[in-house]
Amino acid sequence: MVFVPRQVLPKTGIILVLNGTSSAGKTSIARELQWVHTEPFHHLQLNAFRDMEPPGHWDNWKQQPAETMALKLAALNRAMHAALAQYARHGQNVIFDTVLSTADSMHYLLEDLSDLHVLLLAVHCNVEVLAAREKTRGDRPLGLAASQVGQVHTDKAYDLEVDTSATSVNECAMQIAAWLSQSPVVDAFAQLRATHASPVPKPCT
């Protein structure tokens, strides 16, 4: 193995963001895309980072000080984005499967990945199908996905959108792979950066 200085890193990889509610099919699409696309992709997911949190990390969150919750959310988002950025800066393609359900999460994404090649994809699914999936899988609180529907795609722009309500995971992955193979010109990330004002910083005490 040869040590790789930061000064000689290759062309950056792409970051493919799959945004959708819980149980929309993001993880399944990401895993299928790793098999059907000709280019290799790493798969980084919100749930993997959540699984590393200490027990009770978000318990009674409404009773916790706002500053504490802000720091926890910022740490989670920026840790994920730092991992994404380093993979991409070392020439690796990455699929990021996440739930952008708050304005702050969107701001962190736009700020942290501003100098990288980011493609934004929406993963849609109707509420009835989401509820059925939650009941079947049994590892998500019932109603979680429905609570996210009104937020996760609000004020977003996308380069491509898929819907898993009646389309299989394989078909969605094939659609994305075919789209990527055309080297599409994308502008959703730049568009959102231009229209989203940065929040006014507040000191944490």
CA distance 98 to 26: 8
Judge whether 109 lies within some domain: yes
For residue 27, being part of any structural domain is answered with yes
The tally of domains found in the chain comes to: 1
Confirm whether 32 is domain-assigned.
Answer: yes
In a domain, 31, yes or no: yes
pLDDT in tens, the chain (205 residues): 888 888 888 889 999 999 999 999 999 999 999 999 999 999 999 999 999 999 988 887 778 888 989 999 999 999 999 999 999 999 999 999 999 999 999 999 999 999 999 999 999 999 999 999 998 887 777 888 889 998 999 999 999 999 999 999 999 999 999 999 999 999 999 999 999 866 655 555 5
Provide the residue range defining the domain that includes 20. 6-54+72-195
Q: What angle do CA 68, 15, 143 make, to 5 degrees?
A: 55
Residue 203 lies in a domain: no
Contact between 10 and 93 (Cβ < 8 Å): no
Q: Which residues are paired to 124 by β-bridges?
A: 163
User: Quick one: how many helices (H) and strands (E) in the chain?
Assistant: 8, 5
**Domain of residue 43, CATH code:** 3.40.50.300
Give the pLDDT score at 203. 57
177 C-beta neighbours (distance < 10 Å), count: 17
Domain membership flag for residue 204: no
Tokens standing for residue 145: 């996905």
Flag whether 205 is in a domain: no
Structural domain includes residue 174: yes
